[in-house]
């Protein structure tokens, strides 16, 4: 499998922690120049420091992906700093709600959809023209196993991740002949800060989260990062419009 990335440029949103940080580090380890984007300035700059400590190249850009002006500025700074954009990992997302559909609020709906759906749409809206201008590229969006089925008591989050897959597939078809590939990753439960906030306060919930995966554990951020790098690599040159599950077999049941 070809994983030759040296000298190329990638934008990673939601890169201050968790899956985003792990993927930013993995890209940097392969020789890419990384644009680290997040709303959390302190942790985003910490990701850059980690990359530089390993001998990599990175810059931080503060960005709220739900704001068009922020996303436009992110892409402008990427171009002015590194001169190109080869890959994008649109990973920024907001946590799910915890309640039945009828108990949800309009504020919850707007917040989740604003980041998870509008954010991905805005990022691709500004990434695709850059990639077109240089003759190609690859985009990976973070969806979820919740985007491939039902998710009781997190209906808004579930709908947002279904929408991410819809955006991914549609963009993939639109740009298939333009040498731009667009795919999504659909993680199961992954050991992140978000996971710990949601489950570890209740050990029984944490145990259940592990049991829903036939492999008997939750996933790691590095396992998701590996999948993202594969989808960006030349080894996945014939793969576009795909929603790749990283779920320990959960959806195979």
Asked whether the beta carbons of 148 and 251 are under 8 A apart, the reply is: yes
For residue 58, the domain's CATH number is 3.40.50.720
Q: Is residue 212 part of a domain?
A: no
Q: Based on C-alpha coordinates, what's the Rg of the chain?
A: 17
Q: Is residue 149 part of a domain?
A: yes
Q: Is residue 200 part of a domain?
A: no
What tokens appear for 81 in the block? 């700093």
pLDDT, residue 1, reads 46
pLDDT, residue 207, reads 79
**Which pTM does this prediction carry?**
0.95
Q: Is residue 205 part of a domain?
A: no
pLDDT, residue 201, reads 67
pLDDT in tens, the chain (253 residues): 456 787 899 999 999 999 999 999 999 999 999 999 999 999 999 999 999 999 999 999 999 999 999 999 999 999 999 999 999 999 999 988 889 999 999 999 999 999 999 999 999 999 999 999 999 999 999 999 999 999 999 999 999 999 999 999 999 999 999 999 999 999 999 998 877 776 666 777 777 888 899 999 999 999 999 999 999 999 999 999 999 999 999 999 8
Q: Is residue 207 part of a domain?
A: no
Q: Is residue 83 part of a domain?
A: yes
pLDDT, residue 6, reads 79
What tokens appear for 180 in the block? 């731009």
Q: Is residue 2 part of a domain?
A: no
pLDDT, residue 239, reads 98
Selecting among 82, 87, 157, 175, the annotated active-site residue is 157
E-assigned strand segments in 82-154: 87-90, 137-142
Q: Is residue 202 part of a domain?
A: no
The number of domains in the chain is 1
- The reply to whether 230 belongs to the active site is no
Structural domain of residue 33, as residue ranges?
9-191+220-244
């Amino acid at each position: 499998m070809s994983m030759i990335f040296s000298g190329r440029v990638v934008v990673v949103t939601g890169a201050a922690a968790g899956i985003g940080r792990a993927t930013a580090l993995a890209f940097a380890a392969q020789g890419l120049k990384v644009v680290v984007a997040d709303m959390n300035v302190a942790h985003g700059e910490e990701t850059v420091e980690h990359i530089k400590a390993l001998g990599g190249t990175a810059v931080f850009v503060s960005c709220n992906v739900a704001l068009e002006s922020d996303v436009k500025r992110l892409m402008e700074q990427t171009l002015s700093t590194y001169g190109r954009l080869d890959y994008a990992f649109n990973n920024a997302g907001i946590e799910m709600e915890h309640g039945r559909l009828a108990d949800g609020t309009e504020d919850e709906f707007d917040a989740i959809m604003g980041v998870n759906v509008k954010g991905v749409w805005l990022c691709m809206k500004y990434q695709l023209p850059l990639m077109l201008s240089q003759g190609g590229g690859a985009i990976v969006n973070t969806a979820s196993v919740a985007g491939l089925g039902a998710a009781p008591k997190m209906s808004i989050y579930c709908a947002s991740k279904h929408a991410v897959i819809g955006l991914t597939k549609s963009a993939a078809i639109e740009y298939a002949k333009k040498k731009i590939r667009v795919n999504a990753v659909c993680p199961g439960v992954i050991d992140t800060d978000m996971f710990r906030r949601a489950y570890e306060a209740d050990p029984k919930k944490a145990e259940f989260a592990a049991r829903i995966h036939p492999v008997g554990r939750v996933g790691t951020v590095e396992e998701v990062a590996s999948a993202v790098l594969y989808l960006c690599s030349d080894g996945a040159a014939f793969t576009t419009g795909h929603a790749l599950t990283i779920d320990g077999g959960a959806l195979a049941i």
